[in-house]
């Protein structure tokens, strides 16, 4: 009610969840987890250790660090 959205019935909610495809999830993950949307930070004296830690996960950030 706070967002002026309708209250969904259980059947409507189940239908909306069932309508989500694996491809929908893949596309959303690609958008949200795109390297240009990610960042990383660390505190410590060894920049090489930081780069080595993030390189397997986000190679683009390791190169930029």
The vertex-33 CA angle with 59 and 12, nearest 5°, equals 165
Whether 62 and 49 have beta carbons less than 8 Å apart is answered as no
Q: Report the residue count for the chain.
A: 65
Which tokens in the block code for residue 37? 């949307």
The tens place of each residue's pLDDT in the chain, 65 residues long, gives 678 888 999 999 999 999 999 999 999 999 988 877 878 888 989 889 988 988 888 887 777 77
pLDDT of residue 1: 60
Residue 50 Cα distances to 24, 33, 36, angstroms:
33, 20, 18
């Amino acid at each position: 009610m706070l967002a002026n959205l309708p209250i969904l019935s259980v059947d409507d909610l189940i239908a909306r969840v069932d309508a989500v495809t694996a491809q929908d999830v893949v596309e959303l993950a690609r958008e949200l987890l795109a390297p240009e949307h990610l960042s990383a930070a660390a505190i410590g004296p060894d920049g090489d250790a930081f780069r080595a830690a993030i390189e397997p996960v986000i190679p683009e950030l390791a190169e930029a660090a």
